[in-house]
Amino acid sequence: MLRAEIILDETARFHARPAALIAEAAQKFESMICIEGEGVFADCKKFLSVMKIRVPSTGILEIVTEGSDERDAMSEIEYIIKNMYWR
């Protein structure tokens, strides 16, 4: 199991485009991939689940991956989250 924290700008919001990109990328992997924000966990393979996530006032999101391709999954999801235009 891998865990990573990502710090986002406090104005960041999950909306349809980033949520869709995350879900599409996550579906390529066999590993379980979750994001946690403000105590809410999202299954990254499900678009509507990702849409539920709120970026905490601290801006810190946690990503958790577990499975045979967890390193690749973590890398790709981190890349998407860090490089999306969030406004």
Residue 10: what pLDDT? 65
What does the block give as tokens for 70?
Answer: 């967890």
Residue 84: what pLDDT? 77
Between the CA atoms of 63, 85, 26 and 31, what dihedral angle is there, to the nearest 10 degrees? -20
**Residue 19 identity:** A
**CA–CA separation, 24 vs 18, rounded Å?**
10
Residue 82: what pLDDT? 85
Global pTM value: 0.87
Q: Which residue, among 53, 60, 7, has the nearest Cα to 26 in the 3D structure?
A: 53
Residue 24: what pLDDT? 97
Residue 11: what pLDDT? 65
Residue 18: what pLDDT? 85
What does the block give as tokens for 51?
Answer: 């849409």
Cross-strand pairs, 37: 40
Low-confidence ranges of the chain (pLDDT < 70): 10-13, 85-87
The set of catalytic residues is: 15
